[in-house]
């Protein structure tokens, strides 16, 4: 075992490079290299935050995405490696609800028995698997294989359905392939104009901000967000624009910008004629969305709509323009159409495939890109192959050495999978990996009830998350610094994760767990616990697919070679997609006409004192995803210890809400009660809740499980709620009841 390891941060898809060193081996702590541009000092720093003693020392490492810098989460990431709350042996829940240690043999026998029982009583699809975008490529690949061959179920999906599915569906529709950024992140450095829709990178992935500085200084950074987020505030110094639409009207806004591009003669006509199809239909679809009408629908002034279109077009002709989308415009029931409208705009301007311009979407989870490529999605086989494609099925049957008919067909996307829990014809035995569905899923109260109705729930985790607490059986797994593997960052670049320390004696890799369970279930094919062996199989499985990794191996990654997929054997990879052709058979991009759809009318408030408002949800700088990890880091929790609802002062005054007072935010699905934070950064008709907190502060008690018909994305960013002041402190009885619900 070496005393230091070059690896990457365990959190977001920026995958900042870092070095982990055993403290005993350290001389005076070296300072990481300086960040080459001045950034928001409270969001990103070249010096580590003060942290509790950790198993390893973290230092930033120079790399194109982060250039030596890390955010607060990255600097404190090693703190969790020796956290006292770590689960280090299998735990079985007894009749009294208490989890007690058992042996690994006993745990695996119980899990295998539960699978056999569910299959015998209800059929193979009574067993389900819920994966995660934080799994390495090797584990995501093996999880899909394990589900389909060892468990013999089609019922597998993952939490990336809540993250990237709309952008992925739009990318497949338009380009024939989905890679979040089809260009290296460094390409943004020289752009003169960047339109960023629905992403607050200054808080979600702070080192990203340095790549926006060139456009910001040129006055060309344009941010679309209902809040004046930290990223929106970053536009101010350079003369950029902040467009603050009504929540849920992003699609209308994009149609308005496209209208200006078309009717002011800003279209790159040569590009559109030579490299796209569908232009005429798009022209017809945007004709009724002139700027003044769009202003009346979105609240964005018509002159800002025109200015945005003109700046994008000028940038495309001069210094380069980029359009970037994030979850804020994609986590809707019309998220695929909204992302499609953004792509249409980029194609009108000739951005995709250009040497200086482009379109991309920002992957969120650490392996959100690789996690959606290799088989843990309900409708997918490795290499981004469709599970319904006969050629894809035949290819995988050859790689796995099984008859093609043994590979199940498509399963259920995440929301439908979770809705089926405990139902007579639904999932009765569920395995959860790398996901805290109790906090992170829409309509979280219903999801929790579904978990409790299961015959058997197995959760693989290293902490007692809110979901693990519901499990019949908890299997302790490795943390990031204890394992080898690969991940694929937001650019489609495959990276090496390296082991830096030995895990606790009782913890096991998911690869080991799946291999042992496959033995007990007499599964066909092979299941290795060695990550490199699994990656070699993944190379074969992905060969010839859209996400082709066949030319990548551990040796080249260990040499530091850049590996952007598609990377067929014998090639040098593809840092920039679309220069010569798109991935459709005719080589052209497809423009699809989209228009806004009417949303469901929400229920009226039963409380006449409550005001109906729009709830939007999102992240805080200090926390990540469901907070299951970051809420256990003392420094991060001290900065943001609890959920607070952001309310505009004018709205708060009308409701008798004061800063720090308790507020009820409720709808027909549930209630959140937390303290008020008054801010003019939010619209007066809107409230904001972070989604990192459990129990009474869980924002997803309120979000709706309605989904996008194309992608299966739930409606996270537009939910009607009833807001009122809480007259008296909550009683301990109410707190206990709410925490248990």
pLDDT, tens digit (0-9, with 9 covering 90-100), for 311-339: 999 999 998 999 999 999 999 999 999 99
Summarize the confidence of residues 635-664 as an average pLDDT. Answer: 96
Predicted local confidence at residue 602, as pLDDT:
77
Predicted local confidence at residue 568, as pLDDT:
98
Summarize the confidence of residues 696-717 as an average pLDDT. Answer: 96
Strands of the sheet with 99-101, listed across from one edge: 99-101, 91-93, 473-476, 456-461, 429-433, 127-131, 156-158
Residue 532 has pLDDT above 60, yes or no: yes
Confidence of residue 24 (pLDDT cuts 50, 70, 90): low
Summarize the confidence of residues 101-121 as an average pLDDT. Answer: 98
Confidence of residue 608 (pLDDT cuts 50, 70, 90): confident
Model confidence over 347-369: pLDDT tens digits? 999 999 999 999 999 998 999 99
Residue 33 has pLDDT above 70, yes or no: no
**Both structure tokens of 114:** 């539960």
Residue 45 has pLDDT above 50, yes or no: no
Q: How many CA atoms lie within 13 A of 686 on its CB side?
A: 21
Instruction: Assess contact for 278 and 592: CB atoms under 8 A.
Output: yes
Range of lowest pLDDT (34-43, 596-605, 642-651): 34-43
Summarize the confidence of residues 128-154 as an average pLDDT. Answer: 98
Cα–Cα dist 93/459, whole Å: 12
Predicted local confidence at residue 598, as pLDDT:
79
Average pLDDT score over the chain:
93
For the chain, the residue count is: 741
Cα–Cα dist 619/610, whole Å: 26
Cα–Cα dist 259/262, whole Å: 5
Confidence of residue 728 (pLDDT cuts 50, 70, 90): low
Using CA atoms of 142, 144, 148, 152 in order, give the dihedral in degrees to the nearest 10: 80
Cα–Cα dist 351/578, whole Å: 10
Predicted local confidence at residue 236, as pLDDT:
79
Residue 36: Cβ within 10 Å count: 13
At 495, phi and psi to the nearest 5?
Answer: -125, 155
**Cα angle at 128 between 154 and 113, to 5 degrees?**
115
At 518 the three-state DSSP class reads helix
Predicted local confidence at residue 39, as pLDDT:
30
Summarize the confidence of residues 80-104 as an average pLDDT. Answer: 97
Summarize the confidence of residues 280-303 as an average pLDDT. Answer: 98
CA distances from 418 to 56, 199, 451, 467 (A): 38, 27, 8, 13
Model confidence over 393-441: pLDDT tens digits? 999 999 999 999 999 999 999 999 999 999 999 999 999 999 999 999 9
Sort 637 into a burial class: Cβ within 10 Å, 0-12 / 13-18 / 19+: middle
**Both structure tokens of 219:** 């006055």
Give, as one character, the DSSP assignment of residue 83. Answer: -
Cα–Cα dist 635/641, whole Å: 10
At 511 the three-state DSSP class reads helix
Domains and CATH numbers, the chain: 1-84 (2.20.25.90), 91-163+369-484+503-529 (3.40.50.740), 165-362 (3.40.228.10), 611-740 (2.40.40.20)
Predicted local confidence at residue 393, as pLDDT:
98
- Which residue's entry shows tokens 């020392």? 57
Instruction: Assess contact for 69 and 447: CB atoms under 8 A.
Output: no
Which of 508, 466, 380 shows the shortest CA–CA distance to 696? 466
Predicted local confidence at residue 739, as pLDDT:
41
What 3 state SS string does 522-584 have? Answer: CCCCCCCCCHHHHHHHHHHHHCCCCCCCCCCCHHHHHCCCCCECCCCCCCCCCCCCCCCCCCC
- Which residue's entry shows tokens 């405990």? 422
Which of 551, 133, 114, 183 shows the shortest CA–CA distance to 357? 183
Summarize the confidence of residues 298-321 as an average pLDDT. Answer: 97
At 146 the three-state DSSP class reads helix
Cα–Cα dist 222/239, whole Å: 9
Summarize the confidence of residues 456-480 as an average pLDDT. Answer: 98
Confidence of residue 729 (pLDDT cuts 50, 70, 90): low
- DSSP annotation string for 240-303: -EEE-PPTT-HHHHHHHHHHHHHHTT-S-HHHHHHHEE-HHHHHHHHTT--HHHHHHHH---HH
Residue 31 has pLDDT above 50, yes or no: no
At 128, phi and psi to the nearest 5?
Answer: -130, 160
Query: Which is higher by pLDDT, 539 or 739?
Result: 539
Model confidence over 228-279: pLDDT tens digits? 999 999 987 778 999 999 999 999 999 999 999 999 999 999 999 999 999 9
Range of lowest pLDDT (34-38, 42-46, 87-91, 660-664): 34-38
Residues 6+ apart with CB under 8 A from 601: none
- 391-424 burial, b at 16+ Cβ within 10 Å, e below that, comes to ebbebbbebbebeeeebbeebbbbbbbbbbbbee
Predicted local confidence at residue 452, as pLDDT:
98
């Amino acid at each position: 075992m070496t005393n230091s390891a070059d690896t990457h941060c365990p959190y977001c898809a920026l995958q900042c490079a870092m070095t982990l060193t055993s403290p005993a081996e350290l001389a005076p702590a070296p300072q990481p290299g300086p960040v080459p541009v001045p950034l928001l000092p409270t969001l990103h720093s070249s010096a580590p935050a003060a942290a509790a003693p950790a198993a390893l020392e973290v230092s930033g490492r120079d790399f194109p995405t982060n250039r030596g810098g890390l955010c607060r989460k990255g600097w404190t990431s090693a703190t969790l490696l020796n956290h006292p709350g770590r689960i280090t042996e299998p735990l079985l829940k007894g009749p009294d609800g208490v989890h007690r240690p058992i042996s690994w043999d006993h745990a695996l026998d119980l899990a295998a028995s539960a699978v056999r029982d569910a299959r015998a009583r209800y059929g193979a699809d009574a067993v389900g698997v819920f994966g995660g975008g934080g799994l390495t490529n090797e584990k995501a690949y093996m999880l899909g294989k394990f589900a389909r061959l060892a468990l013999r179920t089609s019922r597998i999906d993952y939490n990336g359905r809540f993250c990237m599915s709309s952008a992925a569906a739009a990318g497949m529709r338009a380009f024939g392939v989905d890679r979040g950024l089809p260009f290296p992140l460094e390409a943004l450095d020289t752009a003169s104009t960047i339109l960023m829709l629905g992403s607050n990178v200054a808080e979600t992935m702070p080192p990203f901000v340095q790549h926006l500085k060139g456009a910001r200084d040129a006055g060309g950074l344009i941010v679309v967000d209902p809040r004046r987020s930290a990223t929106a505030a970053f536009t101010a110094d350079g003369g950029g624009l902040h467009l603050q639409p009504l929540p849920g009207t992003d699609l209308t806004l994009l149609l308005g910008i496209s209208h200006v591009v078309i009717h002011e003669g800003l279209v790159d006509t040569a590009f559109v004629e030579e490299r796209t199809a569908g232009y005429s239909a798009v022209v017809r679809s945007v004709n009724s969305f002139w700027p003044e009408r769009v202003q009346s629908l979105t609240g964005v002034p018509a002159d800002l709509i025109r200015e945005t279109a003109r700046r994008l077009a000028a940038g495309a002709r001069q210094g380069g323009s980029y359009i970037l989308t994030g979850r804020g415009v994609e986590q809707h029931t019309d998220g695929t159409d909204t992302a499609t409208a953004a792509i249409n705009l980029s194609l009108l301007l000739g951005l995709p495939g250009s040497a200086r311009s482009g379109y991309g979407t920002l992957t969120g989870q650490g392996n959100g890109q690789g996690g959606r490529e290799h088989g843990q999605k309900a409708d997918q086989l490795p290499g981004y192959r469709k599970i319904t494609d006969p050629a894809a099925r035949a290819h995988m049957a050859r790689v796995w050495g099984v008859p093609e008919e043994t590979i199940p067909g498509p399963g259920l996307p995440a929301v439908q999978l979770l809705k089926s829990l405990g139902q007579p014809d639904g999932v009765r035995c569920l395995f959860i990996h790398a996901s805290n569905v109790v906090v992170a899923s829409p309509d979280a109260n219903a999801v929790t009830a579904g978990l409790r109705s299961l015959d058997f729930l197995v959760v693989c985790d290293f902490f007692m998350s809110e979901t693990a607490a519901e499990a019949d059986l908890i299997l302790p797994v490795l943390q990031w610094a204890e394992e080898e593997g690969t991940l694929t960052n937001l650019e489609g670049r495959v990276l090496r994760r390296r082991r830096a320390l030995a895990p606790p004696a009782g913890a096991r890799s998911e690869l080991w767990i799946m291999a042992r369970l496959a033995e007990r279930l007499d599964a066909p094919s092979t299941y290795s616990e060695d990550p490199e062996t699994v990656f070699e199989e993944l190379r074969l499985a992905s060969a010839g697919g859209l996400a082709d990794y066949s030319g990548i191996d551990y040796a080249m990654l260990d040499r530091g070679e850049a590996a952007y997929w598609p990377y067929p054997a014998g090639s040098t990879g593809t840092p920039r997609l679309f220069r010569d052709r798109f991935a459709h058979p005719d080589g052209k991009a497809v423009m699809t006409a989209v228009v806004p759809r009417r949303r469901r009318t929400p229920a009226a408030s039963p409380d006449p004192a409550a005001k109906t408002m729009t709830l939007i949800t999102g992240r805080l700088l200090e926390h990540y995803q469901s907070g299951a990890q970051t809420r256990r880091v003392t420094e991060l929790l001290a900065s943001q210890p609890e959920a607070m609802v952001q309310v505009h002062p004018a709205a708060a005054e009308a409701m008798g809400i004061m800063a720090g007072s308790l507020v009820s935010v409720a709808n027909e699905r549930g209630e959140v009660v937390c303290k008020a934070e008054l801010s003019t950064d939010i619209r007066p008709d809107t409230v904001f809740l972070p989604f990192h907190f459990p129990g009474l502060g869980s924002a997803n008690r309120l979000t709706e499980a309605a989904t996008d018909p194309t992608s299966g994305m739930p409606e996270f960013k537009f939910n009607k709620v009833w807001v009122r002041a809480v007259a008296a402190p909550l009683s301990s009885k109410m707190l206990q009841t709410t925490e248990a619900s």
